[in-house]
Amino acid sequence: DIQLTQSPSFLSAFVGDRVTITCRASQGISSYLAWYQQKPGKAPKVLIYAASALKSGVPSRFSGSTSGTEFTLTISSLHPEDFATYYCQQLNSYPRTFGQGTKVEIK
């Protein structure tokens, strides 16, 4: 199984901060990586797919990038509604796997 290691697990930030979350895959997954945002009591919502493609309707402050087996989600300027938990997911092979999540809280 492909393991995804997200870091950090938790981060505290101010509104307006630039935030970066990293996801490292245990083996090559090409660009088959998606990022999701989940708020309490809700289903996850896709933000980025194919490592760097912005889902239609998602604000442009969200972006994704990749370098080898390391993937990054960046929020350029944190908005109040961005405080949530973020997950990466690999869709290169079965079984599909998720990172353990990064909780973004207000400082």
Partner 1 sequence: QVQLQESGPGLVKPSQTLSLTCAVSGASLSRPGYYWSWIRQHPGKGLEWIGGIYHSGTTYYSSSLKSRVNISLDTSKSQFSLKLTSVTAADTAVYFCAREVMAGDSSQFDYWGQGTLVSVSS
Instruction: Out of 5, 12, 26, 30, name the contact with partner 1 by CB under 8 A.
Output: 30
d(CA 52, CA 99): 17
At 81, give phi and psi (nearest 5°). -75, -5
Smallest distance, partner 1 to C-beta of residue 16, A: 28
Stretch that binds partner 1, among 12-20, 35-43, 63-71, 72-80 (CB under 8 A): 35-43
CA dist., res. 43 & res. 66, Å (int) = 25
Q: How far apart are CA 15 and CA 107, in angstroms?
A: 8
Site residues, partner 1 (CB under 8 A) = 1, 30-32, 34, 36, 38, 42-46, 49-50, 53, 55, 87, 89, 91, 94-101
